[in-house]
Amino acid sequence: MCFTARPLLLIHTTMSIQQDIVKARLLGLCIVITVLLLALQKYGPEKVLIIGKDAGLEMNSLDDGGNGGASIASLVHDGDTLLLNCEIIASAYRWPYCVASFKLTDASGKGMDLSGYRQITVAARYSTPQDVGIRIQLINFNPAYANDRDSNSLKYNALELFDAYQTISLSHMQVPTWWLILGKIRPEYAGPEFTDIRGIQVATGEHIKPGKYQIIIDGVELRGKYLSDNQLYLFLLAGWTLMALLFFVSTLRKAKRELRTHQQRQQQLEALNSLLNKQQQTLEARLARDPLTGVLNRDGIAPVFEHAWDSHNHQQLSLIFIDIDNFKKINDDHGHNRGDEVLRLFAQVLVENTRAQDFLARWGGEEFVLACPDTNVKNATALAEKLRLAIQHTSWPQGLSITASFGVAQMHAHESPTDFIARADQALYEAKAQGRNGVRYAP
């Protein structure tokens, strides 16, 4: 196997960068979605509930007669509007009233949940201006304090309005103090509630004086978001919490992968360093270098073959024979000095494009060999092709066009260095015979 730390690190780094890009895009998408949801919450469409003559609801009039009063109320349809005719008659009952009531319960007696609405518009006015206002009342049921047999146990969320068409926030509605005291309501239930509204009422205001009145009711409109602010914020919080959890898990897994990769690379580098140290110890006394190119010569690279051939060593070894094409013509046409310059630059290109564990030697004349420990023939052939392209694309002195031919072989088990070198040399010969500037490998 051809091993090098640099490609492994490059692959790992590329994967890490790609993962970071995916995370950044996902984060950006979440930010965009959050902004869009917040914008829709503020400026988007609203749900609308209209209470009026054409709402298909059960409607009726109520007065204080049921409480011992004498007032008389009636509800009349007049085109698109409703008329609440009211005669307030003084009696022993101190709080006379007339009411137009809209029933919101279904067949099971369950009311409507209006907690998702944020504002209410009351389109109602007296036929003649009055000093007294018009009360809007939303009647809520909660089993914590109410029962169906006692209408006084229902909570009245109410507010008295003095403008003909007025829009108010539901949060501004009030619960009468007398009702809180009468029902001994606990503090947590003292505020307005809209979860089970049994009815909506338009009524005469407090402290109304005896006389005849007419309230013109065009309708009651409720508006609200499809999600309450709290629901949206909870949804966003859950989404971002999930995102943070995913990022945490992803980061943790990435850290574990990086640790494993680092450990593997460390082990491989330690093994490689151990091998190189042994080779260095063996070669130190015998290494010799080519004086022209500075790379190893035949004597310098010989221990590499001996080490691979040792019966106790099962190391893979591939050999690449490299020969400069038409080098004699370069010497003949440009002189030996120019030829020497080409040889030095040629060796430099090879060194710059090989790996730390490879051994490069000048075999003789224009011929070089590259020994690749721990490398099979497939990877050695790929390396040879890389070197061929590097040579072909190098800027050579005086605009020379330099190419090279390559012969590749992998050392077989129990094969002698002589036979091994001969097979690589034969592959080089075939590369030359097939037109030069090519790579051939021996089976």
- The answer on 304 and 207 residing in a single domain is no
Query: 271: helix, coil or strand?
Result: helix
- The answer on 97 and 211 residing in a single domain is yes
Could you give the percent of the chain with pLDDT greater than 90?
60
Q: Among 16-20, 114-118, 156-160, 206-210, where is mean pLDDT lowest?
A: 16-20
Query: 50: helix, coil or strand?
Result: strand
- The answer on 239 and 208 residing in a single domain is no
CA distance 350 to 338: 18
Note the pLDDT of residue 2.
46
- The answer on 144 and 239 residing in a single domain is no
CA distance 399 to 132: 105
- The answer on 56 and 31 residing in a single domain is no
Tell me the per-residue pLDDT of 324-371, one tens digit each, with 9 for 90 and over. 999 999 999 999 999 999 999 999 999 999 999 999 999 999 999 999
- Do the domain assignments include residue 277? no
- The answer on 302 and 243 residing in a single domain is no
- Do the domain assignments include residue 281? no
> Closest Cα to residue 197, out of 230, 168, 154, 144?
154
pLDDT tier, 287 (very low <50, low <70, confident <90, very high otherwise): low
Which CATH number fits the domain that encloses residue 314? 3.30.70.270
Residue 1 has pLDDT above 50, yes or no: no
> CA-based angle 154:157:160, to the nearest 5?
135
> What's the residue count for the chain?
443
- The answer on 342 and 200 residing in a single domain is no
Strands 439-441 and 404-410: parallel
Note the pLDDT of residue 322.
97
Place of tokens 């939303």: 138
Q: Is 367 a catalytic residue?
A: no
Q: Total structural domains in the chain? A: 3
- Name the residue range of residue 329's domain: 286-441
Q: How many CA atoms lie within 13 A of 208 on its CB side?
A: 29
CA distance 168 to 7: 69
Let me know: does 116 contact 232? Beta carbons within 8 Å: no
Q: What is the largest CA-CA distance in the chain?
A: 136
CA distance 188 to 173: 16
Task: Please give the residue that has the higher pLDDT: either 155 or 15.
Answer: 155
Let me know: does 409 contact 427? Beta carbons within 8 Å: yes
- The answer on 205 and 166 residing in a single domain is yes
Task: Assign 3-state DSSP to the chain and report helix, strand, coil percentages, each to 5.
Answer: 40, 25, 30
Note the pLDDT of residue 338.
93
Note the pLDDT of residue 23.
80
CA distance 6 to 276: 17
Tell me the per-residue pLDDT of 372-418, one tens digit each, with 9 for 90 and over. 999 999 999 999 999 999 999 999 998 899 999 999 999 998 888 89
Let me know: does 63 contact 208? Beta carbons within 8 Å: no
Catalytic residue among 366, 367, 385, 415: 366
Place of tokens 């205001």: 205
In the chain, the amino acid numbered 52 is G
Tokens (6 digits) for 19: 């993962």
Let me know: does 220 contact 102? Beta carbons within 8 Å: yes
Let me know: does 125 contact 216? Beta carbons within 8 Å: yes
The residue-averaged pLDDT of 182-190 equals: 93
Which CATH number fits the domain that encloses residue 170? 2.60.120
